[in-house]
Amino acid sequence: MTEDQNLLQLSAIFGALGSTTRLRIIEIIRKTERPLHIKAVAQMLKRDYAAVYRHIGVLENCGLIGVYEVGRSRVIYLKKAELVKECVGIVQKMLLTC
């Protein structure tokens, strides 16, 4: 992978995390530590299913979450959960020192 490709992927991840709704989705999955139906996440956020689904598409495209089907429902899970937890911890430390 070239440096430019690496920067593009990094930019996609930071862009995906630039939305409070997407950060909330990540936090919900991270805290429950188990896969969740998209409908359940939409209900927790008190948001429309379609809007949440679009946010999940952004997170999936950059590789932060995975989506699979269970019957007619879609379930999401956090990819590389330990790394995501570590990243959240680092950013929280940065906030405390600013």
Answer yes or no: is pLDDT of 98 > 80.
Answer: no
Q: Are 41 and 25 in contact (CB under 8 A)?
A: yes
Beta-carbon contacts of 33 under 8 Å, excluding residues fewer than 6 positions away, are 81
Answer yes or no: is pLDDT of 91 > 90.
Answer: no
Q: For residue 70, give the nearest of 25, 40, 27 by alpha carbon.
A: 40
**The token pair that represents 16 in the structure block:** 């995906």
Q: How do residues 41-52 score in pLDDT, each as one tens digit?
A: 999 999 999 999
Q: What is the pTM of this model?
A: 0.87
Q: Are 65 and 30 in contact (CB under 8 A)?
A: no
Strands (E), the chain: 36-37, 65-70, 73-78
**The token pair that represents 23 in the structure block:** 């950060």
**CATH code for 3-97?**
1.10.10.10
Answer yes or no: is pLDDT of 88 > 90.
Answer: no
Write down the mean pLDDT value for the chain. Answer: 91
Answer yes or no: is pLDDT of 22 > 90.
Answer: yes
